[in-house]
Structure 1
Amino acid sequence: MVVGGGFMKWVLVILAILERVNSVSANCHFSVVDDNKLYDYSLGSPIPLFPHGVQSEDGFYKVAANETVLWFQLCDGMIFNHDPPRCVDCWDCGGPSRCGMGCSALVANNIGGYDVCTTIGRASSIDINIIDKKNPNSGVIVKMSNSGLKLNCSLSVSVICDPNRVQGPHSLEKTGKCDYATVLTHPSGCAKVVHVHGHWWGWFGTLGTIVLCLFGAYLLAGAVYQYFSLGVRGIHVIPNLDFWTSLPQRTQSLFASLLRKFRGSSSQGHRSSYSPVNF
Structure 2
Amino acid sequence: MAPQSVSKERLRDPMKFSLLFQQMESLSRILGASACIAILLWSAASSASRVCELTAVQSKQVYRFSLASPIKSYPHGVLSEDGFYKVAANDSWLWFQLCSQMIFNHDQPRCFRCEGCGGSLYCGNKCSALVSINNAGYRVCTSIGQASKSHITLIDERRPKIGVVIKMSSVTEKMNCSLSVSVFCDQSATVPTSVDHVGGCDYATTMRHPAACADVISGGRSGLGWFGTLITVLICLLGAYLLAGTVYRFLFLGVRGVEVIPNLSFWLRLPQQAQILVCSLVRKFSGQVHLGRGSYSQIN
> What is the TM-score normalised by the length of structure 1?
0.70
C-alpha deviation, 1:130, in angstroms:
0.6
- 2:129 alignment counterpart: 105
Tell me, in whole angstroms, the C-alpha distance in 1 between the residues paired with 2:99 and 2:263: 49
C-alpha deviation, 1:26, in angstroms:
2.9
C-alpha deviation, 1:266, in angstroms:
3.4
CA-to-aligned-CA distance 1:84-111 (integer Å, 9 cap, x gap):
1111111421122211000000000111
- 2:189 alignment counterpart: 166
The structure with the larger Rg is: 2
SS of the residue corresponding to residue 168 of structure 2 reads: strand
Q: 1:148-163 maps to which residues of 2 (within 5 A)?
A: 148-163=172-187
- 2:106 alignment counterpart: 82
Aligned partner of 2:274: which letter? F
269, 272, 277: which one pairs with 1:265? Answer: 277
- 1:190 alignment counterpart: 213
- 2:296 alignment counterpart: none
Tell me, in whole angstroms, the C-alpha distance in 2 between the residues paired with 1:195 and 1:169: 33
174, 177, 201: which one pairs with 2:223? Answer: 201
Seen in structure 2, the aligned counterparts of structure 1 residues 261 and 186 have a Cα distance that, compared at 3 Å, is same
Q: How many residues align?
A: 223
C-alpha deviation, 1:57, in angstroms:
0.2
SS of the residue corresponding to residue 242 of structure 1 reads: helix
Q: Establish whether residue 67 from structure 1 lines up as the match of residue 83 from structure 2.
A: no
SS of the residue corresponding to residue 53 of structure 1 reads: coil
Tell me, in whole angstroms, the C-alpha distance in 1 between the residues paired with 2:71 and 2:263: 47
- 2:247 alignment counterpart: 242
Tell me, in whole angstroms, the C-alpha distance in 2 between the residues paired with 1:244 and 1:34: 52
- 1:6 alignment counterpart: none
140, 149, 158: which one pairs with 1:134? Answer: 158
SS of the residue corresponding to residue 96 of structure 1 reads: coil
- 2:32 alignment counterpart: none
Seen in structure 2, the aligned counterparts of structure 1 residues 74 and 243 have a Cα distance that, compared at 3 Å, is farther
Tell me, in whole angstroms, the C-alpha distance in 2 between the residues paired with 1:251 and 1:196: 44
Q: 1:18-37 maps to which residues of 2 (within 5 A)?
A: 23=47, 26-37=50-61
SS of the residue corresponding to residue 161 of structure 2 reads: helix
- Contact 2:49–2:99 (Cα < 8 Å) also in 1: no
Tell me, in whole angstroms, the C-alpha distance in 2 between the residues paired with 1:20 and 1:74: 13
C-alpha deviation, 1:265, in angstroms:
2.2
Seen in structure 2, the aligned counterparts of structure 1 residues 38 and 150 have a Cα distance that, compared at 3 Å, is same
SS of the residue corresponding to residue 68 of structure 2 reads: coil
Aligned partner of 2:180: which letter? S
Seen in structure 2, the aligned counterparts of structure 1 residues 108 and 254 have a Cα distance that, compared at 3 Å, is farther
SS of the residue corresponding to residue 167 of structure 1 reads: coil
Percent of aligned pairs with the same amino acid: 45
C-alpha deviation, 1:150, in angstroms:
1.1
Q: Establish whether residue 117 from structure 1 lines up as the match of residue 129 from structure 2.
A: no
Structure 2 unaligned segments of length 5 or more: list them: 1-42, 234-243, 251-257, 288-300
Aligned partner of 2:193: which letter? H
Seen in structure 2, the aligned counterparts of structure 1 residues 253 and 113 have a Cα distance that, compared at 3 Å, is farther
SS of the residue corresponding to residue 110 of structure 1 reads: strand
Structure 1 unaligned segments of length 5 or more: list them: 1-18, 212-238, 275-279
- Contact 2:65–2:214 (Cα < 8 Å) also in 1: yes
Tell me, in whole angstroms, the C-alpha distance in 2 between the residues paired with 1:179 and 1:109: 13
> What is the TM-score normalised by the length of structure 2?
0.65
C-alpha deviation, 1:25, in angstroms:
5.5
Tell me, in whole angstroms, the C-alpha distance in 1 between the residues paired with 2:113 and 2:262: 71
Seen in structure 2, the aligned counterparts of structure 1 residues 121 and 203 have a Cα distance that, compared at 3 Å, is farther
Seen in structure 2, the aligned counterparts of structure 1 residues 24 and 121 have a Cα distance that, compared at 3 Å, is closer
CA-to-aligned-CA distance 1:94-138 (integer Å, 9 cap, x gap):
122211000000000111111101100000001111111221000
- Contact 1:119–1:146 (Cα < 8 Å) also in 2: yes
Seen in structure 2, the aligned counterparts of structure 1 residues 269 and 175 have a Cα distance that, compared at 3 Å, is closer
Seen in structure 2, the aligned counterparts of structure 1 residues 20 and 264 have a Cα distance that, compared at 3 Å, is farther
